[in-house]
Structure formats: structure tokens, C-alpha cells
Structure 1
């Protein structure tokens, strides 16, 4: 019987062979008949040779253990924590990695690279392929990166023109609503607060706004107010151009899209906004006033194995970084401690109490190697940014913040468990792309506001952007001095999402502008003229280099 709990796979004509193949104890993977590559998840075309001659291949069921995490926090009635979430590379073609569970073993005995073998757990009409340590001592090849982390710059497409769209716009206004835990106010109210503040900061009125841009435009699971339609309906605006959706350059993609709209003459003043009310949403769930997202069936290839959070995917990448480069939990701890130190100087930060390394290490585990303070703080709040045409920006009240370069190119697979091994996916390519569009170098940057949904996001961006070499974060972060406000690269000066609150990347843009204007008060970085800010990762992300004229 189907015990209520974790969502089961939604079986379709394309994936039925995979989710039901365990009925005879055999693991099956889609295969290209032209080049013999194994393809996962199933697709109508081979990603390697573009052939449509596809079939299904029965494989041995042997795999290499690519990475694993012990989940302590999340769970389902039929899969209570702790349990092991893993990625395994199929022996016949380790480019195929399955998210799965490891069973019948003590997690302390597991090691990256060991051989595992498939067994099946039947739940209703689904046979979940889970794995256990192999008993025969055979070895299986580990997956390797399609592009080595240090080689991404070699694969960036050159600019199509010497003219750069970044030159045509500037940030002229910023605003934020109140930010807090369980504010219990409608999310649209927070959106309007932030937008009113940004419009006033730019010296404009709502009648001047001819463009609206947001991410993701959803109003479920505490993700937002409902997007452009909700805001336009409330304010009675008449935008010439609008933008919204998740398939963009991370949460900051709304700003990059606005830059393009201004550069092409579609709009002169674009209001970009992002709202979260996850804290209130969580409280309303507890009170029975909201319904949880999702349902009994899912299209996710991770959730049936209890990998219900981005933390699980990133924990696997972090473990591989630890294994390859000697990174430790203390390495991540210096990021969390730095954020808290900066948050102590920010009156709008949610968590401002001092944090020591002992505090960090003793906090409850979420999913190894992540503890509580590696995770951002769910909150309620909204942030808004005005992107204006540069020819009018210089006559507006505040110092315009100019765009130097953006990075958006996707060089990695976007499937969470098929992508880059040792860093957060969708970071290395975008960072390399940005540097190809400017003559500035990492040593020119005065402030870095880098996405930190988890501490490991920050580490990935620091290495990708060249503030330290690939695999050198352990030494670079040791002691926290290099990322302090008076260090080599001041990092997340407002407290970041780990302490200020999860504003989904837009808060990082707000802080970058605040620093470049010299308006950050006690946390101000001296003579800040150039800032880099990133948003997203795992999903397509974006990174922006901004400056002010000297």
C-alpha cells in the first residue's frame, strides 16, 4: 500500500521504463543507439550526438558512490531522518548520476568512490532504485567534470560586439520594506512598501515607471506576492514592458532583463522587485491556514528519495569539495561568522548576536556537512530597485550606480544532480562570462555581495570569481580576515542571507548599491567604487559588476 509520505514519481510514457524496471530486479537507463551514451533524465534526443534513435538499456546495477549526505532535519512519515541521500555514477557510463538512498550500512563506513549495487523498494506502482555497498569488491569509475573547474573561461563565447548593453542603464533608486520573522502581513503589502521606497529614492513618481520586472512571479510557498500582475493591479500602472519568471538569470535576472529593456528603448525607468514571506507562510501552515505545496506525485528525480531541499544537492557538492581540496566545516564557519559580524552593525538584520566558531560547530546538523548556521534565514520582506536610462540617471537625485559587466552564460547542465561536481552548479560559467566582458579584474573589486542561500554558495562564488584559486578557499577563508570589511574582499557587508535574512539575491544588490553610494553607516567599506553581486546558482544564475564614476 502507498503509505502517505514522500511524493512518488509521476509516471509518464517517457519515464515509465525507469520507475517500473525494478519489477524484475533490473535497472534500466535510456541509451542512444547511435553513440551508445546513456541518457538521464530521459529525453527525446541525445545530448551528446543529437540523435533521436533512442532505446533502453539494462545495466548491471553497479555504481560508484559519487557523494553522500546524512540528512538530519527534513523527512517524511515513511522516511524519517536520519537517512543517507547520495549520488551514484552508473558503472557503464558514470556521466549518469542517480540521486538515491544508501541503505543497509552505517553512514560512518561510507567513502566516496566505493562501489555500490542497486536494490529496489516498491511503493505502490513505483520501484525506487536505492543502493547498498557492494559485496564483491568490484570497482566502478567515478564521474568526472565535463569541464574542469579551472577551465570554464576557455569555453566562454566571445562578445558579439564591442558595444555593451550594460553601458545604457544605471541603478537610480533602491528600497526595502520592513524585514522580519512572521510579520503576518500580506506579501503584496511588503512589495508596495519596497516599491514606494525605491521610487521615492530615485526622485520619481509611479507615473514615471514604464517597466516592471520581477522573479519568479509566483505566489505559492511564501515565494511572492503574485508578480507583475498583482502589483500592476494594485497600483494601476501602465507599463510599456514587463518581465517575470523563473527561467532567467537567478533572482537578479529581473535587473539584467530591465537593463536590456532600457538598452533597446523599450522602457526608461524599470521597477524591479522581489518579495518573500516564507516565515509567515510557515507559521500559517502550522495553523492550518495554508496548504503545503506539491502533491502525492512529483516530476522531481530527487524528492522520491527524500532530497526535498536545495541543501541536499549542495551538501553533496560540498562533500566532494571537502574530499578533493581538504575543505572543512571550519572553512564554511568563517563565512557564517563574518556574516554575523557584519549583521551586528545593520539595524535591519534579523540575527545580530555575536557568533563564535564553537557556536557554529555546535549548532544542530541539517544535512552533513551543513549545520543550522550554514542555512539562510527564512523571513518576510521585499526589495525593489529602479533601473533607468543612463542619459537621465546622471540628473537624478542619487549617485547613479553604473553597470560594468554581467555574466549569464550556461556552460553546465541545469539538472541538479548531473552538473558540476565540486562547486555550486551555475556559478563557474557565469563568473567566467562576466570577466570576459570587462577589462577589470578581481583585484579591482572593493565589495562582494555574493549569493549565500547556504554558506557553500559563497565559497563557490569566491573561487569562481577568482578572489582565490580553485580549491584554495580553505586557506583564503581561514581566520576570516580576508573577507572582513577591511580585508582583501569585504564579503556580504549587510550580514548576507545567513544573518540579515533570505531576500533571495535582491538584498545583495540593495547592499551593493548602498556601499557604492557610501550610505552604509557603521558597516561602510572605505572608498568602495566597484562591487560584484551574484544571485542564484543551481538554477540559471547571474552575476553583475557595478561601479560608480570616480
Structure 2
């Protein structure tokens, strides 16, 4: 059954427009701009909005050809597109191409609306107009907000440190209770810090108590507190934060504010076992017949996975900057060689660039090896007050800066197309909070839910200019363990497993302590980590304790 939007007074002008064949969106007359998805007022002038009839014409500015069977009534391959509307090119619509070979669809294709009725909903689809492809080097981009200056001279990062880390058993289809994985990691991280559970007075996690749906959580704070009986003075768990590792930043803030001394942070996944039990999470396909919120604008078109959404941005990057699949492939290929030195990695067999290029396509330009590996496992991190950390078992790992700012719009198809969404803001915010620069970084542990996420973070953090990420990683030398910027030395999520952000912090601490064994980076003193895969991201800069 095709997932369909729940009709409301706020969205029915869009979803019922096909009844008379006219595409409609909200419009602010004083500002002369389109507004989509629907809002109660204009975000610029706060005036009320009208509903305006449009021509239904636009241009494809992003495209991915999906090869996965997500919906029973939508056979792959099919072309998922982002269309910039003629009346306001900054207003974009995610849709499907009809009346054309999916593989023939490219950026710059002029299109016009068609409507396909499903019950009382008319899905806007698009077909080529037959006009020549628009050849443009650049397409209109929303202006990002400026980086906010530090509001005070107080630098909370100076008062906290990482004192303990641990990882449970990690693997494919372990068929273990996810809470048991979390308890293993939590107890081991506390012991690694030289503490006992009695010393822990805070708990923090991502995404919190989601009921374990699709293997995405062990049950959150409630479940882990019941298992460990810590009785914290502060706790936090939820989705809406600066990437998965935003829960670690939240813990730092709580410690710096004096709410607690030692916060136990944890992140647990059991996606591979959950899928084996028939509870595949996918991208959040709703169980109810109708849906609202952000997903209503993508799921009806078979854009079911974050792979589809991020691939659209990758296509725009490829088109604009000349990035190639072979260049992108050096990220998973190089990280696989790193995984070969990590006994805990899931996939350790060598991979060549030919292996990468020959694998099956998931959604263009992403093949199988561009996608991270669903797994079961838990990672825990202890955040402590610095004055307490220096008396503990291991040398503390210091926090030089965090980056958390939102500079772009959050909806996937309304923000930037130049890179993965929502990475530039936290990256630039990070550097505004420290005197260190990208040249000082010895190790990068960057989110790689898909290879293009990682490429985007490399550009956003300033290791190369925007658009030069493909050339930067090409050949793999720069990002190898012996290169100028060792990248994801544990294998990343592409080979070591999708521990969902926390694995990067774990690896950074292992390296800064000098405990990485065969994969140890020589002389590492500064490591940057990032998390977030299209939803709001975040970055953390760690250093050794320099006194």
C-alpha cells in the first residue's frame, strides 16, 4: 500500500490540487515568495499566507534513480527528483519522473506537473516538457545564516573531559537483548574511567525511549536506569539535538553547569537482529495508513530511505563540481583497509576500487559499499568535570570545541543541494569556538552513514574547498593512516558497523590515548569528530590533555 499523507486544512491545498489539475502552494504576497512545506505565517514578515495557483513547471535540480524495492506498487528503477519551481526556484518539490526512462533524467531537465490520484490524494508527479536541458553551472541556493559569535568569554568546553569509553560486542544479527548490550557497554565505560556506578550522577542518550522500534534503541533512559539503578540528578534523551553525539554535548553542558560530575552517555542499536525478526526500520515507513510531518513529502514517492534523500544532494554535487563515483569510492575502499587493522570491525576483507565500482546499485550514485552496515552493538562514553578527571585512572581527553549551530533550513529538499544537509553550520560554528584550525587536526572521525556524508564533512570542516572533496580523497593516500588526514581509522560505519555516531568518539579517544594498536596514528594530539546524516548534525574537537 502506498503511504499517503493525512489531509489537514493546512496541506489539502497541495494534496488535493490535482482535482482540477493546478499545482498550488502557499505564497507571501508582500515578500513575493513561495512557502513550502506549509507554515502558519510568512517566516520573513510574519504576515498571513495565501494559496497561489502555479504553472506546474520547473527544473530538475537533483535526481537519484532508486534500484531498491521499497513499495509493492512501485517497481524499480524509478527516478526520484527534486524540482525547483519556475515561479520561485528556492521552492522545491520532491517527486517522481513519469513518461521518461529513469536513467535518462538529469539535472537541468525542464518538467511539468502531472497528477496521479490515490484515494482522496493527488500526488504531483513530473514529466519532461520536451524542451532542451537547461545548462547552468549554478542554481539558486538559500542563503545560510551567519555564524553566531560566542555569546560570552566563558568556554564551557574547558571544564569537561572524556574519562571513560567502552564498546559492547558488535556484530551482525547477534540476537541479543539490546538492553544487555547497553548494560555491557555502560558498566565497562564506568570501569574504564576508574569509577563505580555510585559515582555516576547523570545519564544521556540518543534517541531516547523510542520503544526499540526497528532496532533503533534499547529503550532509552528509562530502560537503562531501571537496569543500573543510578538515580541520576540529571538525565536527557531525545532525537532533536545536534546529531547523535549531541547527547554527549548535552552531557558536557550539564557537567559544566554543575548539575552533575560524571555523566554516562550511551547509544545502542540492534538493527540487524530487528530486521531478522521482521521489524525492519527502513526510514520510518509508517504503520498507520496516513502520515503527517516531514515524511509526507517524500514517502509517497518511494523515497523511503536516507540513501535516496542524500543521493539527491550527491547528484547535484557531481553535476556542479564534476565529482565522480570513482573518487567517492576511495572513502569506502580506504576505510576498509583501516577496518582490516581493527579486530572489532564487521567487514575486514580487503576491497579494491574495482570491487567498489562492480557492486550492485542501491540508488544512484550510491552502490552497496557507499552505505553503512546495520549492526547490533552499544557504545558508552563518560563525560566528567575536568577537576575530577585528572584524578582518575586514565589521562583525560580534553574538549577543545563543539559545533552545533543550525544555519540552513531543516527540511531535506528545501536546504542546500551543494553538500549533505546541515553540516556546514556546525562545522563553521566549531572553528568559531577555538584557536585551532583544520591544519592542526591529526585525525578525522567523520560520520559516514553514506560515503557522501563523509565527503561533505571534509569540505564543511575546511580540509579542502567546497567542491574539491572528490579530488581530496582520490587515490586514498591523504586519508590513509599514514596520510596527511587519517580518516575513520577504525573502518567507519561503512566497514566497522553503524554504531550511529558514538563509534567516532570512541575511535577518537582510543587514538588520542595511543591505544589503537596496528592502526595507531603516530603523534596524534587533535581529533575532530562529527555526527548527523542529513538531520541536524554536530561536531566535536578533542585533544590530548596538555595541562
**Residue from 82, 86, 104 that aligns with 2:81:** 86
**CA offset at residue 412 of structure 1?**
0.3
Given the alignment, which residue of 100, 104, 112 partners 2:107? 112
In structure 2, do the counterparts of structure 1 residues 171 and 47 end up closer, same or farther at CA, with 3 Å as the change threshold? same
Following the alignment from structure 2 to structure 1, what is the Cα–Cα distance between the partners of residues 68 and 106?
Answer: 22
1:549 offset after TM fit, Å? 2.5
Say whether residues 1:348 and 2:344 are aligned partners. yes
Q: 1:48 to 1:286 in 2, by over 3 A?
A: closer
Alignment-derived partner of residue 265 in structure 1? 258
Structure 1 segment 35-184 matched on structure 2, within 5 A: 35-51=31-47, 53-135=48-130, 143-147=139-143, 155-184=146-175
Residues 294-314 of structure 1 show CA distances to partners (whole Å, capped at 9, x for unaligned) of 332222110010000111111
* Distance in 1 between residues matched to 2:135 and 2:465, nearest whole Å: 30
Match of 1:206 among 197, 216, 222: 197
**Alpha-carbon distance between aligned partners in 2 of 1:140 and 1:413, rounded to the nearest angstrom:** 26
TM-score of the aligned structures, taking structure 2 as reference length = 0.96
Q: TM-score, normalised by structure 1?
A: 0.95
Deviation at 1:118, TM superposition (A): 0.2
Cα separation, 2, equivalents of 1:229 and 1:344: 37
Question: What's the offset of the Cα at 1:160?
Answer: 1.1
Aligned equivalent of 1:409 = 405
Cα contact 1:72–1:82 (8 A) shared by 2 = yes
Match of 2:191, SS? helix
Of residues 473, 477, 480, the one that matches 2:473 is: 477
Q: 1:9 maps to what in 2?
A: 5
User: Aligned equivalents of 2:73 and 2:540: distance in 1?
Assistant: 44
Distance 2:391 2:104 in 1: 65
1:370 partnered with 2:350: no
SS of the aligned residue for 2:53 comes to strand
Deviation by residue 1:412-453 (Cα, 9 ceiling, x = unmatched): 000011111120011011100100111111110011000000
Q: Which runs of 5+ in 2 are unaligned?
A: none
User: How far does the alpha carbon of each residue in 1:386-416 deviate from its partner, in whole angstroms, 9 at most, with x for none?
Assistant: 0000001011011100000010110000001
Instruction: State the partner residue of 1:447.
Output: 443
| CA–CA distance in structure 1, aligned partners of residues 133 and 431 of structure 2 | 44
1:182-212: CA deviation from partner (whole Å, max 9, x where unpaired): 1111111110010011011001111111000
Question: Secondary structure at the residue paired with 2:148?
Answer: coil
Q: CA RMSD in A?
A: 1.7
Q: Mean alpha-carbon deviation: is it higher for 247-256 or for 293-302?
A: 293-302
C-alpha separation in 1, matches of 2:363 and 2:291: 22
Is the 2:110–2:131 Cα contact (8 Å) retained in structure 1? Answer: no
Distance 1:136 1:484 in 2: 46
CA distance in 2, matches of 1:331, 1:140: 24
What is the match of residue 220 of structure 1? 213
CA drift at 1:17: 1.0
CA–CA distance in 2 between the matches of 1:19 and 1:231?
Answer: 43
How far the C-alpha of 1:162 sits from its partner, in A, is 1.8
Q: 1:448 and 1:117 mapped to 2: Cα distance? A: 44
Contact conserved, 2:215 with 2:270, CA < 8 A, in 1? yes
| Contact kept in structure 2, 1:249 and 1:542, CA below 8 Å | yes
**1:214, 1:278 → 2: CA distance?**
17
Mapped to 1, the partners of 2:250 and 2:299 lie a distance apart of: 31
Does the 8 A contact of 1:279 with 1:379 survive in 2? yes
The CA distance in 1 between the partners of 2:59 and 2:76, in whole Å, is 24
Query: Is 2:309 the partner of 1:318?
Result: no
- The answer to whether the aligner puts 1:308 opposite 2:304 as a matched pair is yes
Report SS of the residue matched to 2:349: coil
Runs of 4+ displaced beyond 6 Å: 138-142
CA-CA distance at 1:107 after TM superposition: 2.6
TM alignment of 1:459-498, pairs within 5 A? 459-498=455-494
Count residues with an aligned counterpart.
Answer: 538
Q: Is the 8 A contact 1:63 1:140 kept in 2?
A: no
Runs of 5+ in structure 1 lacking a partner? none
Separation (CA, whole Å) in 2 of partners of 1:473 and 1:490: 15
1:139 to partner: Cα distance = 6.6
Q: Secondary structure at the match of 1:483?
A: coil
1:510 corresponding residue in structure 2: 506
Q: Distance in 2 between matches of 1:110 and 1:232?
A: 52
Structure 1 window deviating more from structure 2 (102-111 vs 341-350): it is 102-111
* Structure-2 change in CA distance of 1:499 and 1:369 (3 Å): same
User: Is the 2:370–2:451 contact (alpha carbons within 8 Å) kept by the matching residues of 1?
Assistant: yes
> What is the distance in 2 between the residues matched to 1:257 and 1:429?
18
Matched residue SS, 2:478: helix
CA contact (8 A) 1:22 1:129 kept: yes
Please give the per-residue CA displacement for 1:447-488, whole angstroms capped at 9, x wherever unaligned.
100000000000000011111111111221111000001111
Q: Distance in 2 between matches of 1:177 and 1:293?
A: 31
Give the secondary-structure state (helix, strand or coil) at the position aligned to 2:112. Answer: strand
Given that 1:74 and 1:308 are in contact with CA atoms closer than 8 Å, whether structure 2 keeps it comes out as no
CA distance in 2, matches of 1:240, 1:57: 52
- Does residue 256 (structure 1) correspond to residue 252 (structure 2)? The answer is no
1:234 paired to 2:227: yes
Contact 2:81/2:312, CA 8 A, preserved across alignment? yes
Moved more, 406-415 or 469-478: 469-478
Partner of 1:297: 290
